[in-house]
Amino acid sequence: MKYGLRAQHAPVASAEECNVTIVEEARDSAPTAIPVEIGKPRGGPRDRRTLRKDSWWQSPTVTVVILSTFVGYSTFAAFQGRNYYVGSGRHRNLLSPFYSPCMTHACVAGSHPLGIWFQFWQFSPALLVLIIPLGLRLTCYYYRKAYYRAFWQSPPACAVADGHARYTGETRFPLVWQNIHRYFFFLAFFLNIILTIDAIEAFRLPGEGVGMTIGTIFLLVNAALLWMYSSSCHSFRHICGGNLNEFSKHRIRYRIWKIVTPLNARHMQIAWTSLVVVGLTDLYVRLVAAGVFTDPKIFVVH
């Protein structure tokens, strides 16, 4: 670490990441150990804002900017309730990932191959669909760390003072609900299958044949990244290799665990990439549907 000051077991966002915080001045031979206890002040610098001399604020600032932009855009897109599907009238079959699967009576013709399941739903179809990805990302172990630091300042970074007087962890309402993450994982798994089918369906160019367009590439890349995001999930890694005492007795689980572990180490990068790409995919479909530009063809087989 290049802080000029050395931090061991630096203060982090969640209780499972460390139990004890030790902040040690570089030239101080007697380190101060500050235990982190629920309901008590969290460890970290007490008499000043930070012990760091680097630009520690950059990471939380970037997090605030990207997450705020995404939340703002996706809220607009979800409430708009139109321009989410490019259908046979334009020889395309592109459905925005924010609106898939479209299963309410408000869904435009051609956008609901699974049928209308939610007749009662009076609002934009996306508000129903987005419950799953929103629940998954909101409770994601990585995003929790990111938004606890960036928005809640708890703490903003290692060796930076906590923005709150007391540390309460995730042991009580509402944060105890973060444990629901594993169930959202299963729901998102189902959603990934739907979005993969959408990407394959996008190769169908009604009235022209089968082919590939820029829109097809967006849907394909989006589906692939969402699979990577799910596969690198901490809950999935636990499903694969958790609660086992001897890997040698569970060869298949061990092999899957070995595959997902390197992905899990890159969960942060995959989380950001897939977030940006899912937003861009919706934006692309939205602009084509609104007639801002046409979806260019790469090849067609008649």
**Binding footprint of ligand FES on the chain (CB under 6 A):** 136, 140-142, 181, 185, 233-235, 267
- Cβ neighbours of residue 83 closer than 8 Å, sequence gap 6 or more: 285, 286, 289, 290
84 vs 148, beta carbon nearer ligand FES: 148
Phi first, then psi: what are they for 110, rounded to 5°?
Answer: 90, -15
Q: How far is the CB of 8 from ligand FES (least distance, A)?
A: 26
Q: How far is the CB of 120 from ligand FES (least distance, A)?
A: 30
What does R_g of the chain's alpha carbons equal in angstroms? 23
78 vs 146, beta carbon nearer ligand FES: 146
294: burial class by Cβ within 10 Å (0-12, 13-18, 19+)?
middle
22 vs 263, beta carbon nearer ligand FES: 263
- Give dist(CA 85, CA 238) in Å, integer: 37
126 vs 140, beta carbon nearer ligand FES: 140
Q: Which 3 state secondary structure label does DSSP give 139?
A: helix
Q: How far is the CB of 266 from ligand FES (least distance, A)?
A: 11
Q: How far is the CB of 226 from ligand FES (least distance, A)?
A: 10
Q: How far is the CB of 5 from ligand FES (least distance, A)?
A: 31
Phi first, then psi: what are they for 248, rounded to 5°?
Answer: -60, -20
Which strand (E) or helix (H) includes residue 301? strand 297-301
Q: Is 108 within 8 Å of 246 (Cβ atoms)?
A: no
175 vs 212, beta carbon nearer ligand FES: 175
